[in-house]
């Protein structure tokens, strides 16, 4: 069976990675001041955050048109693929992956298997890269999904935002009342709840520096408890200087680890706003 790997633009897969591993990337639409942009095609990350500063309206996201998906899947069938493993951002952030389930039997001779990564950004990108490598090596979809499930179970992430307004207005923050009203005094640490997979408040800390220190403590606990190798990731929301500074500080504390620096893509920036910082980690895919 010839397996194609498809993902969406929030995975931050580079053009070089997509070309090397044959990954197809579907752009997620962003609506800003009444105009629709395709993430990664019509709008770069920098352009989005620059426009966000002067935007007259709250940005929102949409889902790719079904016709666009069918066209991509048809082209994959024409290229000789028998199956498509379509790996996408968490269904609690977007209903995109659930919509794919409605078209998985519409192309005769091609099986489309949607997979909810339960996460997004580079963490999902790492899953996608592992899936693509396994597909090239001849593994079955069942084997790939088994590895993806193990990687998904190992993921943890904590992030700090300057402004909860985007998350609250976009309906992506569960139990927002736990931190609203005290934002002027605290920096809330947020995380993805393991059971609901919604973004939830974790703790309230009184400064960004203290918030970062607390997240580092959580990372250290996870590192000590893990019985498998971990790969860590620093993510920033249009503040590469702050992101790189934190990354370097972490590498000085953990010289045996290599911390990758990534960014919140425009779609995720729509919900988090500017200035967010996160530390995330997962099992090293190469250990599976």
* Lowest pLDDT segment from 26-30, 44-48, 70-74, 194-198: 194-198
Q: What is the mean predicted confidence (pLDDT) over 159-169? A: 69
Q: Are residues 19 and 109 in the same domain?
A: yes
Q: Are residues 117 and 18 in the same domain?
A: yes
| Final residue belonging to a domain, choices 117, 137, 153 | 153
Structure tokens at 166: 């985007």
Q: Are residues 149 and 175 in the same domain?
A: no
How many residues are present in the chain? 288
Q: Identify whether 43 is part of a domain.
A: no
SS3 237: coil
How many domains does the structure of the chain reveal?
A: 2
**Phi/psi class of residue 136: alpha, beta or left (left: φ > 0; alpha: ψ in -120 to 50)?**
alpha
Rounded-to-integer distance, Cα 93 and Cα 130, Å: 22
Tokens 């019985």 identify what position? 227
56-83: string of b/e by CB count within 10 Å (b at 16+)?
eeebebebbeeeebeebbeebbeeebeb
Q: Are residues 166 and 110 in the same domain?
A: no
Range of the domain at 80: 3-28+63-153
Residues 6+ away with beta carbon under 8 Å from 112? 73, 83, 84, 86, 100, 103, 104, 105
On the question of pLDDT at 170 being above 60, the answer is: no
Q: Are residues 168 and 231 in the same domain?
A: yes
Q: Identify whether 49 is part of a domain.
A: no
On the question of pLDDT at 39 being above 70, the answer is: yes
What is the reported pLDDT for 163?
Answer: 65
Q: Are residues 122 and 223 in the same domain?
A: no
Q: What is the mean predicted confidence (pLDDT) over 21-44? A: 93
What is the reported pLDDT for 104?
Answer: 65
Q: What is the mean predicted confidence (pLDDT) over 192-221? A: 88
Q: Are residues 144 and 161 in the same domain?
A: no
Rounded-to-integer distance, Cα 131 and Cα 114, Å: 13
What is the reported pLDDT for 187?
Answer: 79
Q: Are residues 237 and 144 in the same domain?
A: no
Structure tokens at 113: 């298997």
| Final residue belonging to a domain, choices 119, 137, 153 | 153
Rounded-to-integer distance, Cα 98 and Cα 173, Å: 20
pLDDT band of residue 251 (cuts 50, 70, 90) is very high
How crowded is residue 260: how many other Cβ atoms within 10 Å of its Cβ?
Answer: 14
| Final residue belonging to a domain, choices 86, 120, 153 | 153
pLDDT band of residue 60 (cuts 50, 70, 90) is confident
Residue 234 is given by DSSP the state: E
What are the tens digits of pLDDT across the range 69-79? 999 999 999 99
On the question of pLDDT at 242 being above 50, the answer is: yes
């Amino acid at each position: 069976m010839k397996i194609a790997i498809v993902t969406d633009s929030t995975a931050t897969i580079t053009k070089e990675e997509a070309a090397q591993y044959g990954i197809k990337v579907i752009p997620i639409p962003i609506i800003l001041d009444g105009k629709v942009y395709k993430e990664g095609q019509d709008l770069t990350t920098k352009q989005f955050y620059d426009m966000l500063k002067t935007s007259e309206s709250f940005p929102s996201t949409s889902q790719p048109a079904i016709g666009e998906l069918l066209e991509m899947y048809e082209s994959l069938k024409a290229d000789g693929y028998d199956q498509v493993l379509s790996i996408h951002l968490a269904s609690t952030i977007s209903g995109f992956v659930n919509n794919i389930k409605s078209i998985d039997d519409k192309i005769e001779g091609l099986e489309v298997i949607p997979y909810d990564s339960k996460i997004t950004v580079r963490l999902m990108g790492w899953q996608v890269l592992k899936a693509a490598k396994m597909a090239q090596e001849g593994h079955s979809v069942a084997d790939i999904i088994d590895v993806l499930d193990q990687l998904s179970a190992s993921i943890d992430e904590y992030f700090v935002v300057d402004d909860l307004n985007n998350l609250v207005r976009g309906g992506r923050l569960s139990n927002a009342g736990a931190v609203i009203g005290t934002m002027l005094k605290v920096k809330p640490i947020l995380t993805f709840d393991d059971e609901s997979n919604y973004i939830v408040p974790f703790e309230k800390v009184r400064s960004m520096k203290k918030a970062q220190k607390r997240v580092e403590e959580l990372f250290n606990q996870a590192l000590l408890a893990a019985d498998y190798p971990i790969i860590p990731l620093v993510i920033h929301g249009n503040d590469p200087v702050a992101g790189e500074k934190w990354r370097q500080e972490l590498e000085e504390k953990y010289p045996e680890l290599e911390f990758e620096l990534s960014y919140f893509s425009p779609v995720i920036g729509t919900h988090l706003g500017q200035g967010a910082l996160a530390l995330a980690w997962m099992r090293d895919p190469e250990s599976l």
